[in-house]
Amino acid sequence: MPDVFPSDSVGLVTPETITIEEPIALDCGRVLPSYTLVYETYGTLNPTRSNAILICHALSGDHHAAGYHDTGETKPGWWESAIGPGKPIDTERFFVVCCNNLGGCKGSIGPTAVNPATGKPYGPDFPIVTVKDWVRSQAQLANRLGIDTWAAVIGGSLGGMQALQWAIDYPERIRHAVAIAAAPRLSAQNIAFNEVARQAILSDPDFHQGHYYEYGVIPRRGLMIARMLGHITYLSDEGMRAKFGRELREGKLNFNFESEFQVESYLRHQGYSFVDRFDANTYLLMTKALDYFDPAADYDNDLSMAFRRAKAHFLVISFTSDWRFSPARSQEIVRALLAARRQVSYARITAEHGHDAFLLPIPHYRDTFSAYLERVDREVNDHAG
Amino acid sequence: MPDVFPSDSVGLVTPETITIEEPIALDCGRVLPSYTLVYETYGTLNPTRSNAILICHALSGDHHAAGYHDTGETKPGWWESAIGPGKPIDTERFFVVCCNNLGGCKGSIGPTAVNPATGKPYGPDFPIVTVKDWVRSQAQLANRLGIDTWAAVIGGSLGGMQALQWAIDYPERIRHAVAIAAAPRLSAQNIAFNEVARQAILSDPDFHQGHYYEYGVIPRRGLMIARMLGHITYLSDEGMRAKFGRELREGKLNFNFESEFQVESYLRHQGYSFVDRFDANTYLLMTKALDYFDPAADYDNDLSMAFRRAKAHFLVISFTSDWRFSPARSQEIVRALLAARRQVSYARITAEHGHDAFLLPIPHYRDTFSAYLERVDREVNDHAG
């Protein structure tokens, strides 16, 4: 490993690809006869195969959670703050796995992949997938990797929802579930934001009913609007005030529609840069997976009934300024776990960074996260011993 | 008045139009040589001309604040809940005036009006107007109506900002300023939402740099997205939960991109119906007027210094679930008024309806509003006597 990378980074990583030649029946009723998943691993699987941790990604995330793909890369994986030697998810203790989910656009099967039935990209014909579908496919990946039981399944936001679903659907295969900045299901307001983002994409003339690949275009405007809107919900009012305030780019009002306030310029930049690295059909699918997530729905709308199946121990973390999935939403999870007599630790971290806080190296958050995972590690060693 | 209208309505009203043949110098540096304003009045001006109230409209509002334009109209003016016989703004006591602001699209000069210089609609060439410009034009309207001093200037949201600006810019001409669900200036998050709405419109291929009238199209998609987004900020999370929850239109998930949740259907309807009654260029201008509003900016960023000029008494009202302009923002106004040693009454109304609460007949709100305006009326009578 060249020393260009920080010593607390996993450094250079190479994604791996696996094709699972076994059909998967999806919640929507359709079946994928086989499917490819791209994933990364960090650290070493111990001889008893008991130190594996699954990381689940959020809406625009992927399998590249930590480290660098090449020595020239300046930006590490999306959860570099939490994964690496000495970090909360310590790669000197744990074997860490992260895959790009079904429907993704970074190498796993999804709208941009070629549909063997047509020889063209799936596009809008790719089925709408759910959190349960993802968990099912991740279980198959675990089988292939020889991992019977995860020491922990961990995720933030939509990733945290997958951790919860894992605990419900595979109670014997997960010892700890860590759900950070998550919610037990989306509120009407959450769905509303997703719907505006979807309409922006669906109504873009370059969307072509999802077949834009064939037209050599991408629904750039719609995806940009969707991403800009998403960013507002990832940040907090107070965080934006601290970061941008009402600062003007040129120190004066120009009375036109160019970006004048710093916050406008920031959002436009976020929008522009996103369209070149993310697929619009995947974005649509991910928002649907969020809307549909509702583990209580299978249990008479009683979340605690859903959790009664679980055997894992839980860590739930929320952030005070997160208004996308506020502490109150995490507390719904905690209350249901307590009602189900499950073991749960809950931390409400004071942070002004909004929903994005889960990606940031906030000391109190990092310490809480580390302390919990040290416990997970002790259990691994007890188990191994 | 036909008895088809409720007895507490002003009933049938007819808008009036005035062209002010006097140049107005705008904040942007441009000058309109003359300008047309459309307005409505309700009630009767008393002989001493001391009972006049100016109502200022918000982003998508207009001059039609109360009553009906014809006997077949089913929907009254936008503030029917507050204006009429026996209502807080009692038309048996007050002479009420409401005009469509400069840049509007309901009859006052704006992007849809014909530019005498070209014989075509102004479109994007209409100047960007500010709250101060509006107040200046409203003062000219007051002159033409023979109103030297308003008993009160009243508005909600962007309308409340105009009431505050009136108190600062024309201290001798306003006895009471009522600012409901307002803010002393927009936060970075507020500006961010406006910017996403603007980008949706500006990037719509049917926008044609604002010259869409000449192409026989309107930027329907962009304006729809802007309106859907606006609606999310007008409602509260809790209000949406109470109104829509996660109710499915057909009682089941369909795994497609049609609207499935009731909240999606509601938002799409709001978007669709808006595009046929509102002009996109006007929408852009209104969001800019919001972004630019910042009375403290002229006074070294000290809002209390701005208010030191004012002589009016103030009523400030906020709503607990309003997250667009939260109670904390109203309290900034109150604090600055107190620091400036102005007389201010403040009411924080418990309501789950979000920002839109200011348009609704909420008992505590209505009673507070009525009580304050009874005081205004007593002063009118003292003054008249």
Instruction: Check residue B384 and give its pLDDT.
Output: 63
pTM of the predicted structure, to 2 decimals: 0.96
Rounded to whole angstroms, how far apart are CA atoms A96 and B190?
40
The backbone region for A64, taken as left when phi is positive above 0, alpha when psi lies in -120 to 50, beta otherwise, is beta
**Mean pLDDT for chain B?**
96
Q: Is A348 helix (H, G, I), strand (E, B) or coil?
A: strand
Tell me the Cα Rg of chain B: 21
Contact predicate A56/A162, CB 8 Å: yes
For an interface test with B, the pick among A225, A231, A268 (most B C-beta atoms closer than 10 Å) comes out as A225
Residues of B with a catalytic annotation lie at 157, 322, 355
Contact assignment for B243 to A186 by CB distance below 8 Å: no
Contact assignment for A189 to B241 by CB distance below 8 Å: yes
Contact assignment for B186 to A268 by CB distance below 8 Å: no
**Mean pLDDT for chain A?**
96
Among all residues of chain B, which has the CA nearest to that of A242? B188
For an interface test with B, the pick among A185, A191, A204, A249 (most B C-beta atoms closer than 10 Å) comes out as A191
Angle at the Cα of B188 from the Cα atoms of B186 and B189, rounded to 5 degrees: 95
Residues 247-266 (A) with a CB less than 8 A from some CB of B: 253, 255-257, 259-264
Q: Tell me the count of A-B CB pairs closer than 8 A.
A: 147
Active site (annotated) includes residue A7 = no
Instruction: Check residue B3 and give its pLDDT.
Output: 59
Tell me which chain B residues have a C-beta less than 8 angstroms from the C-beta of A264: 191-192, 195
Indicate whether A2 pLDDT > 60. no
Contact assignment for A228 to B203 by CB distance below 8 Å: no
Is A127's Cβ below 8 Å from some Cβ in B?
A: yes
Is A332's Cβ below 8 Å from some Cβ in B?
A: no
Contact assignment for A261 to B228 by CB distance below 8 Å: no
Nearest Cβ partner for A267 among B192, B255, B259: B192
Distances (CA, A) of B234 to B58, B66, B229, B319: 12, 21, 9, 12
Tell me which chain B residues have a C-beta less than 8 angstroms from the C-beta of A207: none
Rounded mean pLDDT, A260-284: 96
CB atoms within 10 A of CB A183: 25
Is A29's Cβ below 8 Å from some Cβ in B?
A: yes
- Measured in angstroms, the CA of A256 and the nearest CA of chain B are apart by 7
Looking at the DSSP bridge assignments, the partners of residue B154 are B55, B178
Is B207's Cβ below 8 Å from some Cβ in A?
A: no
| Residue in A231, A313, A353, A355 annotated catalytic | A355
What residues have CB less than 8 Å from B195, skipping those under 6 apart?
Answer: A228, A259, A261, A263, A264, A267, A268
Instruction: Check residue A1 and give its pLDDT.
Output: 45
Residues 259-318 (A) with a CB less than 8 A from some CB of B: 259-264, 267-268, 271, 284, 288, 291-292, 294
pLDDT in tens, A301-357: 999 999 999 999 999 999 999 999 999 999 999 999 999 999 999 999 999 999 999
Among all residues of chain B, which has the CA nearest to that of A244? B188
Contact assignment for B240 to A188 by CB distance below 8 Å: yes
What residues have CB less than 8 Å from B139, skipping those under 6 apart?
Answer: B169, B170, B173
Contact assignment for A255 to B284 by CB distance below 8 Å: no
| Residue in A90, A204, A279, A322 annotated catalytic | A322
pLDDT band with cut points at 50, 70 and 90 for residue A384:
low
Contact assignment for B264 to A221 by CB distance below 8 Å: no
- Measured in angstroms, the CA of B364 and the nearest CA of chain A are apart by 26
Contact assignment for A224 to B203 by CB distance below 8 Å: yes
pLDDT band with cut points at 50, 70 and 90 for residue A3:
low
B68 burial via Cβ count (<10 Å: 0-12, 13-18, 19+): buried
The b-or-e profile of A353-375 (16+ CB within 10 A means b, else e) is bbbbbbbeebeebbebbbebbee
- Measured in angstroms, the CA of B124 and the nearest CA of chain A are apart by 10
Residues 147-186 (A) with a CB less than 8 A from some CB of B: 185-186
Distance in angstroms between the alpha carbons of the first and the last residue of chain B: 31
Contact assignment for B294 to A237 by CB distance below 8 Å: no
pLDDT in tens, A92-122: 999 999 999 999 999 999 999 999 989 999 9
Contact assignment for B261 to A188 by CB distance below 8 Å: yes
Contact assignment for B235 to A196 by CB distance below 8 Å: no
pLDDT in tens, A44-97: 999 999 999 999 999 999 999 999 999 888 899 999 999 999 999 999 999 999
Tell me which chain B residues have a C-beta less than 8 angstroms from the C-beta of A198: 257
Looking at the DSSP bridge assignments, the partners of residue A40 are A98
Instruction: Check residue B204 and give its pLDDT.
Output: 97
Tell me which chain B residues have a C-beta less than 8 angstroms from the C-beta of A241: 187-189
pLDDT in tens, A182-203: 999 999 999 999 999 999 999 9
- Measured in angstroms, the CA of B332 and the nearest CA of chain A are apart by 15
Nearest Cβ partner for B255 among A28, A243, A255: A28
Instruction: Check residue B73 and give its pLDDT.
Output: 86
Instruction: Check residue A382 and give its pLDDT.
Output: 85
The backbone region for A120, taken as left when phi is positive above 0, alpha when psi lies in -120 to 50, beta otherwise, is beta
Tell me which chain B residues have a C-beta less than 8 angstroms from the C-beta of A321: none
Distances (CA, A) of B310 to B142, B333, B372: 19, 13, 19
Among all residues of chain B, which has the CA nearest to that of A240? B188
Instruction: Check residue A105 and give its pLDDT.
Output: 98
Which parts of chain B register pLDDT below 50? 1-2
Token look-up 């089925």 returns A127
- Measured in angstroms, the CA of A357 and the nearest CA of chain B are apart by 17
Whose CA is closest to B232, among A323, A247, A181, A262? A323
Token look-up 């974005």 returns A283
Rounded to whole angstroms, how far apart are CA atoms A166 and A159?
11
Is B28's Cβ below 8 Å from some Cβ in A?
A: yes
Rounded to whole angstroms, how far apart are CA atoms B245 and A52?
38
